[in-house]
């Protein structure tokens, strides 16, 4: 069976299903932000075992904001991985394209011939 854009996606991208399938871990992110950022585990890592995708978010000082950002990134990556381009239908080039190409070739050949005669 040929693959196409109409086939069902390999991995679901709805949040409820992803929350059941994924593992969420929290860790200290480090970097600027002071004591709050250095002592509290605000960074979020989400691992999706079926697809093997891991995303992290460490930008915000709030664990909640980082978690939301990480879920958005995971969904975005899964959508990109689910994308299948449509199968290309080969088409025959129009006769006018052949005619134009041959005329251009003839003109070019004539230009070269004229150059030869000048020598």
For the stretch 57-93, pLDDT in tens is 998 888 999 999 999 999 999 999 999 889 989 899 8
Once rounded to an integer, what is the mean pLDDT over residues 34-55? 88
Report yes or no on 69 lying in a domain: yes
Report yes or no on 25 lying in a domain: yes
In which band, very low, low, confident or very high, does the pLDDT at 116 lie, cut at 50, 70 and 90?
confident
Report yes or no on 29 lying in a domain: yes
pLDDT of the residue at 62: 87
Whether residue 102 is predicted with pLDDT greater than 70 in this model: the reply is: yes
Q: State the Cα torsion 56-62-68-70 to the nearest 10°.
A: 0
Whether residue 108 is predicted with pLDDT greater than 90 in this model: the reply is: yes
CATH number for the domain spanning 32: value is 3.30.160.20
Pair 31, 43: CB distance under 8 Å? no
Number of domains in the chain: 1
Top pLDDT among 5 and 13 is at 13
CB atoms within 10 A of CB 91: 6
């Amino acid at each position: 069976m040929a693959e196409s854009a109409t086939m069902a996606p390999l991995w679901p991208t709805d949040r409820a299903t992803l929350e059941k399938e994924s593992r969420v871990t929290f860790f200290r992110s480090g970097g600027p932000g002071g004591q709050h950022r250095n002592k509290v585990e605000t960074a979020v890592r989400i691992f999706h075992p079926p697809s093997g995708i891991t995303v992290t978010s460490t930008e915000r000082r709030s664990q909640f904001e980082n978690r939301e950002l990480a879920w958005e990134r995971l969904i975005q990556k899964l959508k990109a991985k689910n994308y299948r381009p449509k199968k290309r239908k080969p088409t025959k080039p129009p006769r006018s394209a052949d005619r134009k190409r041959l005329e251009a070739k003839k003109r070019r050949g004539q230009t070269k011939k004229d150059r030869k005669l000048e020598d």
